[in-house]
Amino acid sequence: MMVNILLTLVLLQAPVSPEPQVPPVDRLAEVRFEELVEELDSEDWNDREAATWKLARTTADIPDVWIERHLEQSGLSLEQVMRLLRVMEIRLLHAPRGALGIQMPLNQIGRPGELLKIDARGVQVSAVIPGLPAEQVLQAGDVITHIDEKALGHREDLARIVQQHWPGDVLKLRVLRTRPGQEELDPEDREVDRLEVEITLGSTTDLRRSGGAQSVLDPALADRRQRLAELLQKHGAVPSSIPAPLFPEIESMSSEEDPMIRGILQQLDAARNGTYTKTLPELKKQWTRQLASIDDTLARQDLQPKERAQLEHRREQLQIILDSLEMRRF
């Protein structure tokens, strides 16, 4: 009986595990986030559109979890809900993600220790891509064993971890590197340095533009698509007023032969779908400048009749597009 009493006392006096620490919140970013959410319900369509794009692009300061938690709150208008879902779609599927700027062996099985004769797993760097962050920190032959203390087994591990972060984020890497001058030695005779380095991530957009022989590895894309599908199923089974209607005159431009107008229509469509790098207000300013340039050219006296007719047609079509943007408020 005495043993049972003592055991009960010990259990009662055992220290309680501390609550998990919540990372500190950037209050300024939080206030700005709340302001942008309010702007999603502005009476001005341009303001709503601008706020949508700011939320979609402000990736590092405003984490996805803030948006997802906000969707759980009551009191949001239909417009705010649909635009927050649009923001998540852009972030999950279209926004540039973090990139190191390395190439990795296609068939690596995740045991560089077989090459270096050391007890380690990781991902070997077969090349660094010029102009991207890894060029300043890593070199061909390095073996990355950990990112932010997470062990790597194969190239998909590395891609998943890196692409959970945004361009500009800083990651800590643990790296194995053969000492200079020993590359020609047998693996068992080489001396290896264990390094800890930091690297500021670049962008998958820059990685794609680099023209490397390998495509950008994105093993988490299917997971992100599933995550978006769940959000849409939970919050988005309602009609949206986000894509403001086009003028009938614009709809009829689908067979337009003028290459400049065709390009503008493609930009307009991509901006409406959230897959273009500029917002509609930014494009409007760009197209207004182009319209002014056309007017300057038309003011010349030396234009040939055919060239003048082409420019007048281009100006007319561009003015219709600009007028449609000016009227897209409700």
pLDDT tens, position by position, 131-167: 999 999 999 989 999 999 999 988 888 999 998 888 8
The confidence score (pLDDT) of residue 68 equals 93
The confidence score (pLDDT) of residue 9 equals 33
Contact 114, 126 (CB under 8 A): no
d(CA 79, CA 240): 7
Residues of the chain under the 50 pLDDT cut: 1-23, 109-119, 213, 238-245, 327-330
The confidence score (pLDDT) of residue 245 equals 46
For residue 225, what is the enclosing H or E element?
A: helix 221-235
Q: How many CA atoms lie within 13 A of 322 on its CB side?
A: 16
Structure tokens at 108: 């690596």
The confidence score (pLDDT) of residue 247 equals 53
The confidence score (pLDDT) of residue 25 equals 54
The confidence score (pLDDT) of residue 330 equals 27
Give the Cβ contact number of residue 258 at 10 Å.
Answer: 16
Residues 6 or more apart whose CB falls under 8 angstroms from that of 301 comprise none
Which residue has 């920190």 as its token pair?
137
End-to-end CA distance of the chain: 78
The confidence score (pLDDT) of residue 137 equals 94
| Pairing outcome for strands 170-178 and 98-99 | unpaired
Q: What is the pLDDT of residues 200-253, one digit of tens each?
A: 999 888 887 776 545 677 888 888 888 988 998 888 754 444 444 455 556 667
The confidence score (pLDDT) of residue 67 equals 94
Domains of the chain: 25-96+220-241 (no CATH), 98-209 (2.30.42.10), 248-327 (no CATH)
The confidence score (pLDDT) of residue 99 equals 92
d(CA 218, CA 97): 10
Q: What are phi and psi of 137, to 5 degrees?
A: -125, -40
d(CA 69, CA 57): 18
The confidence score (pLDDT) of residue 97 equals 87
d(CA 218, CA 209): 16
Burial class (CB in 10 A: 0-12, 13-18, 19+), 194: exposed
Distances (CA, A) of 251 to 1, 266, 269, 321: 87, 12, 11, 10
Structure tokens at 46: 């341009």
DSSP state of 180: T
